[in-house]
Amino acid sequence: MNIEQRVEEILSQMTLQEKIGQLNQVKAPLKADEEVFEQIRQGKIGSFIMATTAHAGNDDTVLTENLLINKMQRIAVEESRLGIPIIYGRDVIHGHRTVYPIPLAAAASFNPELVEKCYRNIAREAAADGVNWTFSPMLDLCRDPRWGRIIEGPGEDPYVGAVMAEACVKGFQGENISDKDSLVACAKHYIGYGASEGGRDYHRTEISDYNLYNYYLPAFRAAVNAGVGTVMSSFNDISGQPVTSGKKYLTDILRGKLGFDGFVVSDWDAVSQLKRQGVAETDADCAELAINAGLDMNMTDRVYINNLESLVESGRVSEETINTAVKRVLKIKLQKGLFQNPYCDAREIDRTVHLKDARTLAAESMVLLKNDGVLPLSKKSRVALIGPFVRERRALLGSWTLDGKAEETANFAEAMKSVIGANMLLSDDNIAVLDNSIARAVKADVVVLALGESEKVTGEAYSVSDISLPKNQVELIHRYKVLGKKVVGVFFCGRPMAMEGVAEYLDAVLYAWHSGSETANAACDILFGDVVPNGKTAVTFPKRTGHIPMYYNVTSSGRCVNCYYGENPQNCYVDSLPTPAFPFGFGLSYTKFEYGEIKADTDEILLDDLIDGKSFKITVNVKNTGDFDGKETVQLYIRDKIATVMRPLRELKGFEKRKINKNETECFTFELGYDKLGFYTENGEYTVEKGEFEIYVGENCLTKNKITVRLT
């Protein structure tokens, strides 16, 4: 019997109440609870979320113990009438016990293979602890770094978003979702949450359909194409329509246009929040709106279990609608193999390889923003290590770290000591009392300042109105600069911070992010030259908060003020020049890469040929002319010069990261076909239009290295 038949068979035996039970997700208890056990027995719980608070990412959220997980599963399997297993979900966002870089940082690695591998490791660790389903990857593109949740997503670009979505889904779900070490993934938050007004969490969004299809949806489309099992609806409304009750979004687009066939879970309490959003008066109204819109599983507020039965009886919801939702849930449970293997065997996991991969990904995620030649440091140099993040552990793990342990995380001082021993001159001064640190700095060859922000100003409900570095840290930089020493800033941050008045005073800037368990070791790998830096930022660094939003894929202004690209920025603001501090795709290396001329295998191609599946090739030689072997991420952007709607000045359409040894040249080839050259109309139809395309290949989005190809 195949899965569809099994689903039908189970469904045919279910009472309405049992069906509704499958759509009910509740908080997992942390200790035995007879009331909960009884609800399981009666088939009233379809899923547990293993989180004790709504802000799981910032609160301590203990994992339900294995014994209890299995005990409750046994009740479901052996004592409920139909024996349908429970699916256990948890926010396993960018790591489990081993923590990997926050997703915004991981995107900067431009290394989807490595990301996939690390997410496989994450799945292995979490599955061994009884997790079946993770609420990740978070795919909300964001153009506003004030938003605390920018850390959870892939940055500002739909192409990077799509590539990372695929990597994460494949990593979590593996070759086979039913494997013991696979997790069901959940693409969230669908859709548009990253556009929260002013970067204020949970706020409204205003998104045109054109923008939705071209900007916000591609990452979700990629997740769906990669076979993601579930999708989580987002808290926000779009132009007055809450997504939680938006049939247009949850059904017409997600299923109709994207072809998603898994199940949709709400966000925490989001169904009952339809009342506060002003589109429903009672819980029953909320349940009716959400289920009829296509929202299958109700997270935590029990609005479905308390209301759907009477809604069916009164005809406001059809049993067919319930059946459809239940079938989707059962299908994922069957695909996950929960009917055959419902229990967790609490395997011990050897984390040696996981930690090694975490260190590699952390190093590949870090971005060298500035270097006047001071880096790499010699392991013989005397380094004064100073600043508020010298001994910090927890922040390095980042927000949305439920199971990583700060006490197992090396801090920067420990990591550096393991490389240079007594050459590290560490000062424990409070940064307000600097005399001792200054005295040490005077003896040192170089000063390394450990700077940044805590995880408590990032993540859910932790947005900021100002992305500047705290004043005391800026003062610290100025104070060491006047000593006449070389000063290196290492930034442990969750978002791009405003770099005006900061980077100018530093001789080198290494953006280390909150890169997980191995943050400090990876930062030292780069500082001391064991790794040649190769991360490139997947989000623009504005110079100051007032320049937000600032993103590379802007459309062209009619008035010659494309300030991102340096065109008349003085006409944008009279008090500052809004060019990026560091543009999208930017990141330095210790070596130098020289880009050759771009070549296309044709300068003209028929649109009809593209429609028939032909493509054309773009090649460029990149030579490593520096003194180190190193990796470079070669980036290809297009500009559709004239179209029926305005298209961005640059759109990333390809990248490849490859190692190039010194004095060697590598040839990079990109194929451009129908799928890369078009856009979606506001009706969600994909179209490619004839005309001239500029094609750029270079080291970041500002590259001027360009060629033109015409579609006829």
d(CA 352, CA 418): 18
Enter the DSSP assignment of 31. S
Give min distance, CB of 106 to ligand NOJ, in A. Answer: 17
At 617, is the secondary structure helix, strand, or coil?
strand
Q: Name residue 369's beta-bridge partners.
A: none
Give min distance, CB of 683 to ligand NOJ, in A. Answer: 30
263-265 vs 230-233, strand pairing mode: parallel
Give min distance, CB of 453 to ligand NOJ, in A. Answer: 21
**Closer CB to ligand NOJ, 220 or 637, in the complex:** 220
Give min distance, CB of 25 to ligand NOJ, in A. Answer: 10
**Closer CB to ligand NOJ, 48 or 268, in the complex:** 268
d(CA 372, CA 509): 10
**Closer CB to ligand NOJ, 54 or 483, in the complex:** 54
**Closer CB to ligand NOJ, 233 or 409, in the complex:** 233
Give min distance, CB of 165 to ligand NOJ, in A. Answer: 15
**Closer CB to ligand NOJ, 298 or 437, in the complex:** 298
d(CA 238, CA 245): 11
With CB atoms as reference, the residue minimizing the distance to ligand NOJ is 135
* 104 contacts 539 by C-beta, under 8 angstroms: yes
Q: Which residues bind ligand NOJ (CB under 6 A)?
A: 49, 51, 54, 56, 91, 135, 188, 267-268, 460
d(CA 510, CA 487): 11
Q: Would you please indicate which residues are annotated as catalytic (active-site) residues?
A: 267
d(CA 129, CA 183): 11
With b meaning 16 or more CB within 10 Å and e meaning fewer, what string describes 271-309?
bbbbeebebbeebbbbbbbbbbbbbbbbbbbbbbbbbbb
Give min distance, CB of 91 to ligand NOJ, in A. Answer: 5
The two three-digit tokens of residue 275, written as one number: 């009342």
Q: Kindly report the number of other CB atoms within 10 A of residue 337's CB atom.
A: 17
Give min distance, CB of 233 to ligand NOJ, in A. Answer: 10
Spell out the residues 6+ positions from residue 58 whose beta carbon is closer than 8 angstroms to its own: 399, 455, 456, 459, 460, 461, 462
Give min distance, CB of 189 to ligand NOJ, in A. Answer: 6
The two three-digit tokens of residue 535, written as one number: 């991360």
Q: How far apart are the first and last CA of the chain?
A: 51
d(CA 548, CA 557): 17
133-134 vs 87-90, strand pairing mode: parallel
**Closer CB to ligand NOJ, 220 or 268, in the complex:** 268
Which residue intervals of 434-544 are DSSP H helices?
435-443, 471-481, 519-527
Q: Which residue has the tokens 């489309």?
A: 221
d(CA 299, CA 49): 8
* 183 contacts 134 by C-beta, under 8 angstroms: yes
- Give the residue from 537, 552, 458, 469 showing the smallest Cα distance to 503: 469
- Give the residue from 700, 358, 350 showing the smallest Cα distance to 525: 358
Q: Helix, strand, coil: what percent of the chain each, to 5?
A: 35, 20, 45
**Closer CB to ligand NOJ, 52 or 562, in the complex:** 52
Give min distance, CB of 242 to ligand NOJ, in A. Answer: 14
**Closer CB to ligand NOJ, 362 or 397, in the complex:** 397
**Closer CB to ligand NOJ, 285 or 460, in the complex:** 460
